Amino acid sequence: MTGRQLQLLFLVLAILAVAYASPYEASFQENKFSSLAKETYFEQPVGHLNYIDDETWMQRLFTTDTYFQSGGPLFFYTGNEGPIESFMDNSGFIFTLAQEFKALLVFAEHRYYGKSLPFGNASFTKENIKYLSAEQALADFAVLVQSLKEQYKINKVVSFGGSYGGMLSAWFRFKYPNVVDGALAASAPIYIVAGGITPRTAFFEKATQDFAKANSQCPVFVREAYTMIADMAKQGDAGLQKITDAFSLCTPLKSDRVAHLEGWVRNSFTQLAMVDYPYPANFLAPLPANPVSYSCNLLLTATDRLKGLAQAAGLFYNGTAGRLPCNDIETQFIECADPTGCGTGPAATSWDYQACTEMSLPSDTNNMTDMFPPTIFDPSAYCEKTWGAKHRKGWMDTQFWGKNILAASNIIFSNGNLDPWSVGGVQQNLSDSLVAIMIEGGAHHLDLRSANPKDPPAVIAARKLERDTIAKWIK
């Protein structure tokens, strides 16, 4: 059987599997959606707000017209801060909806991420990266959607997104209601990034609460292990060597990198809280079911407190198999303008720039309401040195409305109660058409993922409500 025949066979099996299930409980095989879509490129202006320079670039997108029928809607995913395939492969619910509503399905990659680089490898210079912003990305989406509407004779458009993509989906409806008819903004912390609305410590407090919910002793042990690190570091080379051994570090820990190690641990715990799904998943990392409880168990059952912290934090970087012989904290965790983590690779560079310029992000820890060493984070000096950029305080609040969003309509804001980002999301209905859904037992945009037998009842109910609301928009 040829590769093409295998691909067609998979598609038929996927469709048959969904055909015999209710629309919001159907499930596709995880991480196979990119095989159902066609990769294409769309020409965009480099600067939508510049009427003199006519330079263009090619934006990458993935299109699935398998389910589309004439007169059907467009379901449009507003791409995140990374290659679009990762988000497409973890958004099975949208594929399920597209099949039911006979929709054209398009996943658009965000400029300066993945392969959508306006200046190729030179996109990350100070001169060229200045065209990276949420405003420019939204303009890309609007121009693309208008073209798709004309090409496929589409009347109704619904945008989808999770996390930063969820914020973009909501802002897309805010800014271009003439282009998009409704939006599902999953795990979209629009209040955090606006600045001054959410307390600076709220994100890390929520992450700590997730670990306390798994086991009340877990944050206690984390604090004690952090104290051990600080005490050992004061012992000089002998103490630093003990830390190196406990964490299986690839290179001996130096005194000026102790804070970096502490950040490496914190980054792991916040990421584990974000993707605390009730089944094994491979979104940000290959992880077991309920990774928060899993890591807590590693910490609580270890005979040595420090090694327990190393094992618990190492889960995110090294999985359960422990394939890495040692932990290279310098490559696994990159400090940047976002204290919750920028990730690694080129995408981290782009997000670092956005964190320096337009995004207000959670920053401080206090070791009282959270389990992390006290920090007051101010990236202004770093941002000016790295990018020559100064954060425009209040601009995001002005540009994307802050908390004054009642003029908007047709937006679903969904959040999981396990997700640290939920503290900056819309958690209450604001009007009949600004609907908030809180998902008990849900982590970061769990509702966008494929249905799974281990899904909590709340996410099944959330998907049904989302499906019914979208049906009203496109009727």
129 shares its domain with 149 = yes
Residues 409 and 209: their CA atoms lie apart, in Å, by 33
Q: Is residue 4 part of a domain?
A: no
Q: Is residue 206 part of a domain?
A: yes
With a pLDDT cut of 90, the percent of the chain lying above it is 85
Active site residue 163: yes
Instruction: Clarify whether residues 159 and 266 are in a common domain.
Output: no
User: Which residue, 364, 387, 410, sits at the end of a domain?
Assistant: 387
Say whether pLDDT at 275 is over 90.
Answer: yes
Name which residue leads in pLDDT, 459 or 7.
Answer: 459
pLDDT band at residue 3 under the 50/70/90 scheme: very low
Output the domain CATH number for residue 70.
3.40.50.1820
Strand pairing category for 74-78 and 104-108: parallel
CATH number at residue 274: 1.20.120.980
Same domain, 207 and 128: no
49 token code pair: 């707000």
Mean pLDDT of the chain: 91
Of 28, 9, 8, 10, whose CA–CA distance to 18 is shortest?
A: 28
Separation between Cα atoms, residue 262 and residue 223, nearest integer Å: 11
The yes-or-no verdict on residue 31 having pLDDT over 60 is no
Catalytic residue among 27, 140, 360, 444: 444
Q: DSSP assignment, residue 96?
A: H
Closest to 84 (Cα-Cα) out of 57, 105, 55: 105
Residue count of the chain, please give it: 475
Q: Could you give the number of structural domains in the chain?
A: 2
Question: With the C-alpha atoms ordered 427, 206, 399, 141, is the resulting torsion angle positive or negative?
Answer: negative
pLDDT in tens, 369-402: 999 999 999 999 999 999 999 888 888 899 999 9
Whether residue 4 has pLDDT greater than 90: no
Catalytic residue at 338?
A: no
Which residue type does 332 have? Q
- 321 against 126, higher pLDDT: 126
| Contact status, residue 298 vs residue 291, Cβ threshold 8 Å | no
CA distances to 210, 290, 440, 453 from 457, in Å: 19, 16, 8, 10
**Are 269 and 380 part of one and the same domain?**
yes
Res 317 pLDDT > 70 = yes
3 part of a folded domain: no
- With respect to residue 5, please indicate whether it lies within any of the assigned structural domains: no
Average pLDDT value for residue range 343-349:
93
Tokens for 321? 């198999």
pLDDT at 6 exceeding the cut of 70: no
In a domain? residue 161: yes
Do 257 and 343 share a domain, yes or no?
yes
Do 243 and 265 share a structural domain? yes
- pLDDT computed for residue 32 by the predictor: 67
Amino acid letter for position 40:
T
Cβ 142 vs Cβ 176: under 8 Å: yes
CA distance 81 to 111: 9
In this prediction, residue 126 carries a pLDDT of: 94
Both 43 and 172 in one domain: the answer is yes
Set 370, 419, 447, 455: catalytic member: 419
CB 95 within 8 A of CB 64: yes
Give residue-wise pLDDT tens across range 92-110: 999 999 999 999 999 999 9
Q: Per-residue pLDDT tens for 128-170?
A: 999 999 999 999 999 999 999 999 999 999 999 999 999 999 9
Are residues 61 and 181 both part of a single domain? yes
Which of 387, 408, 443 is where one domain is finished?
387
| End residue of a domain, out of 335, 361, 387 | 387
pLDDT at 12: 35
The residue from 163, 295, 363, 450 that is catalytic is: 163
Q: Is 241 a domain residue?
A: yes
**pLDDT beyond 60 at 28:** no
Give the model's pLDDT for residue 49.
Answer: 85
DSSP H helices in 77-236: 84-88, 92-101, 134-152, 164-175, 190-194, 202-214, 217-233
Is the predicted pLDDT of residue 14 greater than 60, yes or no?
A: no
pLDDT digits (tens, 9 = 90+) for 165-208: 999 999 999 999 999 999 999 999 999 999 889 999 999 999 99
What's the distance, Cα to Cα, between the start and end of the chain in Å? Answer: 42
SS3 sequence, the chain? CCHHHHHHHHHHHHHHHHHCCCCCCCCCCCCCHHHHCEEEEEEEECCCCCCCCCCEEEEEEEEECCCCCCCCCEEEEECCCCCHHHHHCCCHHHHHHHHHHCCEEEEECCCCECCECCCHHHHHCCCCHHHCCHHHHHHHHHHHHHHHHHHHCCCCEEEEEECHHHHHHHHHHHHCCCCCCEEEEECCCHHHHHCCCCCCCHHHHHHHHHHHHHCCHHHHHHHHHHHHHHHHHCCCHHHHHHHHHHCCECCCCCHHHHHHHHHHHHHHHHHHHHCCCCCCEECCCEECCCHHHHHHHHHHHCCCHHHHHHHHHHHHHHCCCCCCCCECHHHHCCCCCCCCCCCCCHHHHHHHHHHHHCCCCCCCECCCCCCCCCECCCCHHHHHHHHCCCCCCCHHHHHCCCCCCCCCCCEEEEEECCCHHHHHCCCCCCECCEEEEEECCCCCCHHHCCCCCCCCHHHHHHHHHHHHHHHHHHC
Domain contains 123? yes
Q: Are residues 252 and 320 in the same domain?
A: yes
236 with 358, same domain?
A: yes
Per-residue pLDDT, 108: 98
Domain that holds residue 45: 10-195+396-474
- C-beta of residue 157 within 8 angstroms of C-beta of residue 180: yes
CB 372 within 8 A of CB 365: yes
Task: Identify any residues that bridge with 411 across adjacent strands, giving them in sequence order.
Answer: 183, 434
Report the candidate in 179, 192, 7 with the shortest Cα–Cα distance to residue 78: 179
The CB density around residue 412, as the number of other CB atoms within 10 Å, is 28
The average pLDDT across 420-433 equals 97
Active site residue 293: no
Residue 17 reports pLDDT greater than 60:
no
pLDDT for 156 equals 98
Q: What is the pLDDT of residue 251?
A: 97
Encoded amino acid at 130, one letter: K
Which pLDDT score, from 0 to 100, does residue 26 have?
37
Half-sphere exposure of 265 (CA within 13 A, CB side): 27
Which pLDDT score, from 0 to 100, does residue 475 have?
A: 87
